[in-house]
């Protein structure tokens, strides 16, 4: 069974700061996902990674397969980025294994 760990659990930062959230997993994977859950509960899939790096707007996700580690970066953070960010591993019709989530709060 894959163990997925995230850090930090909580993160508070000032608007404009560069944010990094980390995720590590214990067993080799087909894909890793970064999800964003807003206070209302809805979940948005941000990235699916199997290698390298992906960028979308101010969000960057990287993965190191050898080290079993991924990071999610947010540049020029904004209060609207405040949410819970969740790392998960899985692919296709297999079950996702979730990290515990990182609660991010950006202060204006």
Partner 1 sequence: GAVVSQHPSRVICKSGTSVKIECRSLDFQATTMFWYRQFPKQSLMLMATSNEGSKATYEQGVEKDKFLINHASLTLSTLTVTSAHPEDSSFYICSAWTGQSNYGYTFGSGTRLTVV
Of the listed pieces 13-21, 37-45, 70-78, which binds partner 1 according to CB under 8 A?
37-45
| Residue closer to partner 1 (CB basis): 17 or 96 | 96
* String of contacts with partner 1 for each residue 7-36, x by CB under 8 A: ------------------------x-x-x-
Map residue 80 onto helix, strand or coil.
helix
Of the candidates 90, 91, 42, which has an alpha carbon nearest to the alpha carbon of residue 99? Answer: 90
Please say whether the beta carbons of 76 and 16 come within 8 A. Answer: yes
Residue list 78-97, contact with partner 1 (CB under 8 A): 86, 90-93, 95-96
Please say whether the beta carbons of 59 and 74 come within 8 A. Answer: yes
């Amino acid at each position: 069974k894959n163990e997925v760990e995230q850090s930090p659990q909580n993160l508070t930062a000032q608007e404009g700061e560069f944010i990094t959230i980390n995720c590590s997993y214990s067993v080799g994977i087909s894909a890793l996902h970064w999800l964003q859950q807003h206070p209302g509960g809805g979940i948005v899939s941000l990235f699916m990674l199997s290698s390298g790096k992906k960028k979308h707007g101010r969000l960057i996700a990287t993965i190191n397969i050898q080290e079993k580690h991924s990071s999610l970066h947010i540049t020029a953070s904004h209060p609207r980025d405040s949410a819970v960010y969740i790392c998960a591993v899985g692919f296709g019709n297999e079950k996702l294994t979730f990290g515990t989530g990182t609660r991010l709060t950006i202060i204006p």
